[in-house]
Amino acid sequence: MRKILLTTLALMIFSISVYADDNKEALDTFYNYVEAANTYSATVFDYYSPTAKIIRQVIKPDGKTVDVLTDTATYIKQMKIGQAGAKMRSYKNIYTNVTVIPISAGKIKITSVRHPSVDNDSLKAYMVFEKQPNGKWIITEEMMQTRQQIFLKYAK
């Protein structure tokens, strides 16, 4: 009985330490992503899985929301186009209320409130990071709210 209890306790401690390491690694990756995005680094595109689920949640003037889904390739193409204008305006995103939510070993959801530097808005955001076999963490799902109505033309 004692052996079973000790084995169970050891497994629990090991599991907790794995989750703690995952949390820290994913959070570090999130902050590195933010730095890359805010400095217009080409490395920002490397943070995304080629099959990531990208959601822009458009907040309509009446307060209702519409989810607009896109694929990684289209999203990266749009980001590259938008980077030049963003850089000219010194556009940056500041993230507050950053919370780490373990989903499973090697899979972490990071939620936050995004504050675009060009206005006084507070918008919900989350990213799901998954650890790859090589140890690298990548974004496999992302949702960011926006008030930019132009995204509605891509809604299905």
Give pTM, 2 decimals.
Answer: 0.83
Q: What is the pLDDT of residue 18?
A: 45
Give the integer Cα–Cα distance in Å for 92 and 50. Answer: 24
Share of the chain above pLDDT 90, in %: 60
CB-based contact 29:126 (threshold 8 Å): no
Write down the domain spans for the chain.
Answer: 2-154
More confident residue, 22 or 150: 22
Could you tell me the end-to-end alpha-carbon distance of the chain, in angstroms, rounded to an integer?
Answer: 58
Give the integer Cα–Cα distance in Å for 125 and 41. Answer: 21
Return the residue matching tokens 């373990």. Answer: 102
Digit-coded pLDDT (tens) for 45-98: 999 999 999 999 999 999 999 999 989 998 898 888 888 888 888 889 999 999
Residue 140 burial by Cβ neighbours in a 10 Å radius (0-12, 13-18, 19+): middle
- Hey, what CATH class is 2-154 in? alpha beta
Average pLDDT (32-47) is: 94
73 is written with which tokens? 């390739």
More confident residue, 33 or 84: 33
